[in-house]
Amino acid sequence: MDFYFGLAQIIGVHTLLGLSAYIVLLTGQVSLAQAGFFAVGAYVAGMLTVLAGWAILPALAVSSLFGGAVACAVGFPALRVKGLMLVIATLAFGEAVRLFFFNFDYQVAKGGVKLGPVGGEGFRQIRYFPEHGWTTMEVMLFIWGFVILAMALLWWFDRSRYGAVLRAVGEDELAAQSVGINLTAVKVSAMTVGGMIAGLGGGIYAHYTTHIEHASFGILLATFALAYPILGGLESVFGTVVAVVFVQGLLVEGLRFLGDWRNLLFGALIVLAMNVRPKGFLDAPALLWIGRIFRGRRGAA
Amino acid sequence: MLDFLQSASDGILFGATYALIGIGFTLVFGVMHKLNLAYAAASVGGAYCGLLIVKVAAGAPAFAVFFGAFLAGGVLGYLVYLTCFHFIPVSNPLAALMATVGMLLLIDEIIVHETDGVPLNYPAMFDDVMLRVGEFTLRGDLLMVFVVSMVCMAGLLALLYKTRLGLATRAVSQQAVAAQLCGIRVGRVNAMTFVVTGLLGGIAGAMIGASVGTLSPLLTTPLTIKGLIVTVIGGLGSIPGAIIAGLLVGGFESVLQQFRGVTERDLYVMLLLFVFLVFRPGGLFAPKGGRD
Amino acid sequence: MALLELKGVSRHFGGVRAVDGLDLAVEAGQIFGLIGPNGSGKSTTVNLITGLFALTSGSIAFDGRDFGALPTHLRLGRGVARSFQNIRLFGQLTVWQNLWVAQNSPADHAKRGFLSRWLGGQGDVREEISQLLEFSGLAHKQDELAANLAFGEQRRLELARALATRPKLVLLDEPAAGMNNEEIGLLRDRILKMRAQGITVLLVEHVMELVMDVTDRIAVLNFGQKIAEGTPSEIQADAAVRKAYLGGETA
């Protein structure tokens, strides 16, 4: 059973990462910086519980705020550039964060043992969960509590005027400006909310793996973050969850029996999925179809 | 001072390969307004394919390997076009972008799978030649890399400005719809762009292998990022910009490696990019903005 | 005091003087026509007033205050809305949502708190948007995606979207382009209704019947300069206008 709880933990954390890219994508901005915010959250939360001895909840709150603050700071200059330039700028930002932690040493002696991040070796012994006797199931439920919270938030956004404004900006910036929408405020706010969700996800990630290092936060993680909402479709937050389950559950775990052929199939399946369903798994017609099933075919005409 | 000159000149010579990668990104952007993230991976893949020649005929000359890489790069470029752009509707740019990421992972994994992730030796030419001016030296293999890259760029420019295909390509990059109305088959021009950039990429991959001495799948990610940085610094869509930015980035990172070490080097390259993004977001040679 | 006042406004693109030393004064409550041959600088003028282009020289004042380099969305906050020559709706939003996202006026800000303005649901504003839908005859299409509307409906939605921002002045950039006579008649009624509600209209248009019919005053541009200004009947009689624009024919 522990295997499935562990898998559910991974899916939960990656869902947070995917949701952080989802809200930014709604405004039409392709950001590869989400892994950077995730990394910032991971290191901040880890240092707070291990070095400062904080409890997990305040540590996660601070890591989330930190992720949001960094995203907001990056958002202002980065969103001056558009489209493909932004892809490249955010990609470079993510790499800069990774390289920063690659060169980052901050160790404190605690009870005769030196703890803290050491450059390329990473940050070991983030043992809050085992030290406090949490079982795998408890950790899993803890993570999914946050995932549901984040999904509820974004789902609410989608139903409010804010969500419509995000999509309006994503569709036509010039028209959005012309009906009085402040582009900078909208884009930076989306980036900041995305950064907060990524920072939270990173903080949780640091604690369930207990060991983080710069290499985990590279371009691969950044493209995963982006891949979830694109694969899932931007119509609904549930698309992102479906895509995470597909990638982490089916491709990464489900195909383990294939050995290293699995990795080959992984890239090929992404290519195939995008050719077959260019608007994602849960595009508008798919959502309509699902809606009909739930309503017992009352809506079917 | 001598250290500085030495590392700067080595870096500029090696930077010619970055320039080639940058041209590949910039050309695809210029013609299709798309980002092909699989490009650097396909380039390294092409270089690996070149090595197959040594496998078949041991002792084949380095020249043959390079030529093999060149051709294989073109084939891979066409494959990337087919899988990521041909069938995906233009109205879904995100899907095409994601598909190129899928191709990047796929090519990377094929290389790892076939080589067990072990770096392979790559042949070079003139690696025993050293030009000396006092303490200052120019490595023969780096010079060869530089010259070959420059010849390829000259070939590309000739193709773009002296042939009908080049004319069609430039027409599509300026006004795709108008070009289509004039009877240019845009799909074919797009495909040809991928083949041509693929050929350049194959050579770039081979030249990187030749100057480093080995080829490893670990090259693809940093090469993707460096290529993109070169593209931005040069100005998206500008070929001369990509060439100059490539040499600039090559020299810059080599000097910083000399003085700040290899782990910090790339951090400064990123900083250089941010300086450009903030102060000159259009790059060195920003295309002039027109109306609307 | 004029509601909108352009003084010596110029915009050059490289060597091209798209707008060159233009003076305009639009009085509150007027329907003001801006006409001229293709490429005479009408659309550029609209883009200068809304702040999409920066001025090369000159000044634009609205409601007695200079616009300076105010960004587009803040000009809208002062009361300048527009429609686009080539329709620019949010195609993947519904008709209803297109009007919803346009509610950014200071009046809307004052009426609702920050949270309700941004995170409120559709119920809060149902009444206001129903009125706009009624006005533009789109009530039955409110849940359609804007991209799926017919051409004439899209034009109507654009007008309604501009009105959703509670403007003092609406710039209409060729609203009748591609419309048939019946649709143009309905458009004329709507423009007149807007004036009745106290909204000033700057109408850029090629369809002369409409311009001559509804406007109080007309300015004629040619090569970025104003060559004539007056009432519709004065303009129709103006020799310079006939020569430059009507080519001798009567419209």
What whole-number distance in Å separates Cα of residue A184 and Cα of residue B97?
Answer: 25
Residue span of the structural domain in which B118 resides: 23-230
Among the partner residues A162, A164, A178, nearest to C93 by beta-carbon distance:
A164
In angstroms, the separation between the Cα of residue C53 and the nearest Cα of chain A is 12
Indicate yes or no: CB of B112 within 8 angstroms of CB of A263.
Answer: yes
In angstroms, the separation between the Cα of residue C1 and the nearest Cα of chain B is 33
Question: Which three-class secondary structure state does DSSP give residue C101?
Answer: coil
Give the model's pLDDT for residue A259.
72
User: C48: closest CA among C30, C67, C32?
Assistant: C67
What whole-number distance in Å separates Cα of residue C147 and Cα of residue A172?
Answer: 13
Do A279 and A270 meet the contact criterion of CB atoms below 8 Å apart? no
B45-66 mean pLDDT: 85
Burial zone of B262 (CB within 10 Å; 0-12 exposed, 13-18 middle, 19+ buried): exposed
The verdict on C16 touching A (C-beta cutoff 8 Å) is no
The verdict on A80 touching C (C-beta cutoff 8 Å) is no
Contacts of B291 in chain C (CB under 8 A): 13, 18
The verdict on C151 touching B (C-beta cutoff 8 Å) is no
Do C190 and C132 meet the contact criterion of CB atoms below 8 Å apart? no
**Chain A residue closest in CA terms to B84:** A271
Contacts of B290 in chain C (CB under 8 A): 13
User: C191: closest CA among C165, C180, C204?
Assistant: C204
**Chain B residue closest in CA terms to A87:** B35
Give the model's pLDDT for residue B292.
30
* B208 CB neighbour count, 10 Å cutoff: 24
What whole-number distance in Å separates Cα of residue C83 and Cα of residue B34?
Answer: 30
In angstroms, the separation between the Cα of residue C128 and the nearest Cα of chain A is 14
Q: C250 pLDDT exceeds 60?
A: no
Name the phi and psi angles at A86, rounded to 5: -70, -40
Give the model's pLDDT for residue B261.
83
What whole-number distance in Å separates Cα of residue C35 and Cα of residue C250?
Answer: 15
What whole-number distance in Å separates Cα of residue C33 and Cα of residue C195?
Answer: 13
Beta strands in C16-132 (DSSP E): 16-26, 31-35, 57-62, 65-66, 80-82
Write the CB contacts of A146 (distance below 8 Å, at least 6 apart in sequence).
A12, A16, A60, A200, A204
The highest-confidence range among A36-45, B104-113, C223-232, by mean pLDDT, is A36-45
Give the model's pLDDT for residue C247.
61
The answer to whether position B104 is within a domain reads yes
Beta bridge partners of B132: B137
The verdict on B83 touching A (C-beta cutoff 8 Å) is yes
Q: Which residues 77-116 of C are in CB contact (within 8 Å) with A?
A: 77, 81-82, 84, 88-93, 97-98, 100-105
DSSP state letters, C161-213: HHHTT--SEEEEESTTTT--HHHHHHHHHHHHHHHHTT-EEEEE-S-HHHHHH
In total, how many domains does chain B have?
A: 1
Give the model's pLDDT for residue C108.
82
Give the model's pLDDT for residue A49.
94
Question: Which three-class secondary structure state does DSSP give residue B86?
Answer: helix
- With cut-offs at 50, 70 and 90, classify the pLDDT of residue B237: confident
The answer to whether position B266 is within a domain reads no
Contacts of B264 in chain A (CB under 8 A): 99, 103
**Chain B residue closest in CA terms to C54:** B291
The verdict on A288 touching C (C-beta cutoff 8 Å) is no
Indicate yes or no: CB of A160 within 8 angstroms of CB of C121.
Answer: yes
Burial zone of B229 (CB within 10 Å; 0-12 exposed, 13-18 middle, 19+ buried): buried
The verdict on C13 touching B (C-beta cutoff 8 Å) is yes
- With cut-offs at 50, 70 and 90, classify the pLDDT of residue C175: very high
Indicate yes or no: CB of A161 within 8 angstroms of CB of C100.
Answer: yes
Q: Which tokens in the block code for residue A282?
A: 């849960």
Greater pLDDT, C108 or C138: C138
Question: For testing the chain C interface, which of B92, B94, B177, B292 should be mutated: the one with the most C CBs within 10 Å?
Answer: B292
Using alpha carbons, list the distances in angstroms from residue B169 to A202, A226, B36, B178.
45, 31, 17, 12
Contacts of C101 in chain A (CB under 8 A): 161, 164-165, 168, 176, 179, 181
Cα first-last separation, chain C:
33
In angstroms, the separation between the Cα of residue B281 and the nearest Cα of chain C is 19
Contacts of B99 in chain A (CB under 8 A): 270-271, 274-275
Greater pLDDT, B137 or A94: A94
Beta bridge partners of A122: A118
What whole-number distance in Å separates Cα of residue A221 and Cα of residue C8?
Answer: 55
What whole-number distance in Å separates Cα of residue C136 and Cα of residue C158?
Answer: 10
Cα first-last separation, chain B:
49
Indicate yes or no: CB of A178 within 8 angstroms of CB of C121.
Answer: no
- The domains located in chain C, with CATH, are 1-79+167-182+196-251 (3.40.50.300), 90-165 (no CATH)
Could you give the angle at which helices B2-32 and B186-212 cross, rounded to 10 degrees? 160
The verdict on A148 touching C (C-beta cutoff 8 Å) is no
The verdict on B106 touching A (C-beta cutoff 8 Å) is yes
Do A271 and B82 meet the contact criterion of CB atoms below 8 Å apart? no
Indicate yes or no: CB of C117 within 8 angstroms of CB of A161.
Answer: yes
Q: C191 pLDDT exceeds 90?
A: yes
Do C138 and C156 meet the contact criterion of CB atoms below 8 Å apart? yes
Among the partner residues A93, A99, A270, nearest to B101 by beta-carbon distance:
A270
Domain ranges of chain A: 2-218
The verdict on B231 touching A (C-beta cutoff 8 Å) is yes
Which helix (H) or strand (E) is B162 found in, with range?
helix B140-162
What whole-number distance in Å separates Cα of residue B96 and Cα of residue B76?
Answer: 16
Give the model's pLDDT for residue A40.
96
Contacts of A177 in chain C (CB under 8 A): 52, 71-73
Residue range C80-107, pLDDT digits in tens: 999 998 899 999 999 999 999 999 888 8
User: A21: closest CA among A194, A167, A174, A232?
Assistant: A194
Name the phi and psi angles at C182, rounded to 5: -65, -45
- With cut-offs at 50, 70 and 90, classify the pLDDT of residue B92: confident
**Chain A residue closest in CA terms to C51:** A178
> Residues in chain A, how many?
301
User: C244: closest CA among C157, C32, C235, B61?
Assistant: C235
Indicate yes or no: CB of C52 within 8 angstroms of CB of A178.
Answer: yes
What whole-number distance in Å separates Cα of residue B114 and Cα of residue B109?
Answer: 8
Q: B289 pLDDT exceeds 70?
A: no
What whole-number distance in Å separates Cα of residue C147 and Cα of residue A126?
Answer: 52
Give the model's pLDDT for residue C46.
94
Among the partner residues C76, C121, C122, nearest to A179 by beta-carbon distance:
C76
In angstroms, the separation between the Cα of residue A183 and the nearest Cα of chain C is 8
Burial zone of C132 (CB within 10 Å; 0-12 exposed, 13-18 middle, 19+ buried): buried
In angstroms, the separation between the Cα of residue A278 and the nearest Cα of chain B is 5
ipTM above 0.85, yes or no: yes
Which chains does A contact via 3+ CB–CB distances below 8 A? B, C
Beta bridge partners of C173: C204
pTM of the model: 0.88
Residues in chain A with pLDDT < 70?
A: 296-301
